[in-house]
Amino acid sequence: MPVNLKPIDNAQLAPIAGVDLAYACASIKKPDPSRKDLLVIRIDKGNTVAGVFTQNRFCAAPVQICKQNLDAGVQIRALVINTGNANAGTGESGRQHARAVCAALAQELDCLPEQILPFSTGVILEPLPVERIITALPTRQPATWAEAAEAIMTTDVAPKASSRVIEIDGQRVAITGIAKGAGMIHPNMATMLGFIATDAAITRPVLNQLIKEVADVSFNSITIDGDTSTNDSFMLISTGQSAAARIDSVQHPAYEQLKAVLLEVAIELAQAIVRDGEGATKFITIQVEGGRSSAECKAVGYAIGRSPLVKTAFFASDPNLGRLLAAIGYAGISDLDVDRLEMYLDDVLVAKDGGRNPDYKEEDGQRVMQQSEITVRVVLNRGLANATVWSCDFSYDYVKINADYRS
């Protein structure tokens, strides 16, 4: 079960003026007329949309089409998302399939295929059942944000959504987002599927900058298994229907205010993905401080967060903390002076001066390891930068889920 992940409550998810949602049951993975596996996010004219995508060279066909359509500079009218099939490792026919889905929806919405952004998630290397998707599209029915979150799930145990309402210059602005992901999670510049919409008005160049800044410290700071997906996409939609003034520059007074709230939403979604990590029983926060750059801090955080040895020790509640030091040591900082760093488990100082803190007691480590939420804090003492990475433990159920996934 997900680690301390509160069930989503649709009453807490603010509708976004200018966005409407609809789901369908297309039986994409297998015949199941009750499984929501197709989502359409329609957006009124006057919007701006930005995206960041996986760096995987085997990026999925829909990711390739998304990038092309965003680069074309046309007004985006809808996003269409299917689960149950990743349409990745599918070559030219995969691109044709993704374009066919866009064309079908475009005809109905009376727009160009280039104004549709396609997304897929699920098993790789299998042909997209494009006919079933096109047939199911007209059968879609209006969805709440909670239903939308459900419609994009794959191995997720729980749907993931987050929402905030703020005031900018006395005008109401709403932000609501959904995400999916539980395995193949080790984003590189982007993430699984994440969609955040706001009615704030934001110009496209500002939105492009905003999404990068937000992704970097949210979706790009989590790892479950160290595998970077072929389909990672994080989209930010601005409908512009709030009465608040348009944000047309990163110097605009509302930019930092909006970014802070967007970050809250994005971090909540990113953490929800880790809490629902395949087989996870613990939620681990890794804070790395005092580095020369945030990149090196993140490298240390990821080395700890993806180490199978560290993750199995957390699963066992075993303070076998030398494994954490080993991971720090191979994180790639070639001039790291291990005699200067400190490592804490919550408030317990475990290591300093290149070795175990003489005052460290095994029972203190044991006490923290038994918690379901644990913070590892590494102080590198070589600079002013820091980074936080979120991860989970590694259990029998991770193996079970991934040995069984296709069957």
Catalytic residues: 191
Query: Which one, 79 or 88, has the nearer CB to a copy of itself?
Result: 88
CA atoms of 270 and 199, how far apart (whole Å): 21
CA atoms of 233 and 176, how far apart (whole Å): 17
CA atoms of 164 and 264, how far apart (whole Å): 8
DSSP state of 74: P
Angle at 144 between CA 155 and CA 39, to 5 degrees: 50
Query: Which one, 179 or 313, has the nearer CB to a copy of itself?
Result: 313
Question: Which of the residues 349 through 368 are near a copy of itself (CB under 8 A)?
Answer: 350-351, 353-356
- In the complex, minimum distance from the CB of residue 394 to a copy of itself, in angstroms, rounded to a whole number: 6
Q: Does 249 bind a copy of itself (CB under 8 A)?
A: no
Question: Which of the residues 296 through 335 are near a copy of itself (CB under 8 A)?
Answer: 306-309, 312-313, 315-316, 318, 320-323, 325-331, 333-334
DSSP class per residue in 337-388: -GGG-EEEETTEEEEETTEE-TT--HHHHHHHHTSSEEEEEEE--S-SEEEE
Q: Does 370 bind a copy of itself (CB under 8 A)?
A: no
- In the complex, minimum distance from the CB of residue 333 to a copy of itself, in angstroms, rounded to a whole number: 7
Site string for a copy of itself, 68-107 (x = CB under 8 A): ------------------x-xxxxxxx-------------
Query: Which one, 142 or 406, has the nearer CB to a copy of itself?
Result: 406
CA atoms of 365 and 347, how far apart (whole Å): 10
Question: Which of the residues 39 through 68 are near a copy of itself (CB under 8 A)?
Answer: 55-59
Query: Which one, 56 or 176, has the nearer CB to a copy of itself?
Result: 56
Cα–Cα nearest to 223, from 294, 161, 159, 301:
301
Burial-class residue 89 by CB neighbours within 10 Å (0-12, 13-18, 19+).
middle
Judged by DSSP in three states, 104 sits in helix
Q: Does 228 bind a copy of itself (CB under 8 A)?
A: yes
Question: Which of the residues 153 through 192 are near a copy of itself (CB under 8 A)?
Answer: 183-184, 186, 188
Query: Which one, 11 or 403, has the nearer CB to a copy of itself?
Result: 403
- In the complex, minimum distance from the CB of residue 167 to a copy of itself, in angstroms, rounded to a whole number: 42
Q: Does 123 bind a copy of itself (CB under 8 A)?
A: yes
Q: Does 336 bind a copy of itself (CB under 8 A)?
A: yes
Q: How many CB atoms lie within 10 A of CB 326?
A: 15
Cα–Cα nearest to 271, from 189, 185, 348:
185
Residues touching a copy of itself, count (CB under 8 A)? 71
How would you label 178-188 residue by residue, b for 16+ Cβ within 10 Å and e otherwise?
bbbbbbbbbbe
- In the complex, minimum distance from the CB of residue 183 to a copy of itself, in angstroms, rounded to a whole number: 7
- In the complex, minimum distance from the CB of residue 342 to a copy of itself, in angstroms, rounded to a whole number: 12
Query: Which one, 121 or 239, has the nearer CB to a copy of itself?
Result: 121
Q: Does 394 bind a copy of itself (CB under 8 A)?
A: yes
How would you label 64-79 residue by residue, b for 16+ Cβ within 10 Å and e otherwise?
bbbeebbeeeeebbbb
